[in-house]
Amino acid sequence: MNRLVICTDLYQNSDRNVLAGYLLAKKMDLRPMLYHIDTISPRIDKVFHPIAIKTEYKLDPVWGGDIEVIVSQRINSQLKRLNLEKEDFDFENFEGTINEGIAHLNSHPEIEFLSIGSTNHGNIHRLFLNTFAEKALSHLSKDVLVIKKEMKEIRSITYLLPYAPVNFDDLSVVAHIARASNAKVFLDCVVPIEFVGLNLEAFKDDPPPKEILKTETTVYSSNAEEQLARATKELKAQGVESTYSLKMILNKLPGNYLEEMVKKESSDLVIMKPHHYLFEHLTVSSTTLDIMRNLSCNLYLISKKRVS
């Protein structure tokens, strides 16, 4: 059985993510696996034993007591708070850095996707360390579910499409989640048009700028409508009903308009595929980054490295 990896810090602020991940795993017929990365204990161990190749310790320097006993106790406490049974989960405790912990997940080919909580550390922290979601998208070929608010059920899904030919593999991801949750789907697309008017006297033989703009807008709109219609048809073929919205904008970034559409639809889950990266970071102009920072919606981020 494939797994849904639910990342937890074993504290109460990760309860929301654990519950949402568990409920979605059950709907999608996945085995939930709690995954804890112990970053502090190995770091302290290496400071006092710098020549050690592999860190080995019995006492946890943060919680105190035997590490296996303490972790087990905290797992039991977390599941008890959520009225969940330990037998319903697999569990792994990894000792190392966040990057090492994420890279280690590559040894689990049965992972379907990751579920993580959202913590706002601020822009300075993100500049140097970036977010767990960005690290996971960069180092894994797995999708990432970001839980920012309670999600006991998914009644509606918003799928944000770029102005590009429909990616049917990505569409299958949307259909799979929608069918498992019996959710309706909104398809949203914002098409940005960049246009600079031409001087009529300098280009007398060319069509007037307004005519050029009208022609370009018509072409872009027609192409976008065609792709949205194809997406709607494909979802229906996979047993999912959907509606779509299209907005054309001139010389503006699409982020704000997509945010308005998402707010209006109030979907339980927003699905999108980040496209713009600089090293491991989403770029400053990334629509995904804007939505992650400005909206409280739960996000399902499709990996650009995703293996179908």
User: Do you know the residue count of the chain?
Assistant: 308
User: Model-level pTM greater than 0.85?
Assistant: no
CATH number given to 154-267: 3.40.50.620
pLDDT digits (tens, 9 = 90+) for 107-147: 888 999 999 987 554 443 333 334 777 778 877 888 999 99
User: Do the beta carbons of residue 75 and residue 106 sit within 8 Å?
Assistant: no
pLDDT of residue 133: 78
Domain ranges of the chain: 1-152+301-308, 154-267
Judged against a pLDDT cut of 50, whether residue 292 lies above it is answered with yes
Judged against a pLDDT cut of 90, whether residue 210 lies above it is answered with no
Q: What is the mean pLDDT of residues 151-167?
A: 92
Closest CA to 156 of 268, 258, 235, 272: 268
Judged against a pLDDT cut of 80, whether residue 10 lies above it is answered with yes
Q: Do 1-152+301-308 and 154-267 have matching folds?
A: yes
Judged against a pLDDT cut of 50, whether residue 272 lies above it is answered with yes
pLDDT of residue 140: 83
Report the CATH fold assignment for 1-152+301-308: Rossmann fold (3.40.50)
Q: What is the mean pLDDT of residues 252-260?
A: 78
The residue whose two tokens read 């990505």 is: 170
pLDDT of residue 181: 96
Judged against a pLDDT cut of 70, whether residue 299 lies above it is answered with yes
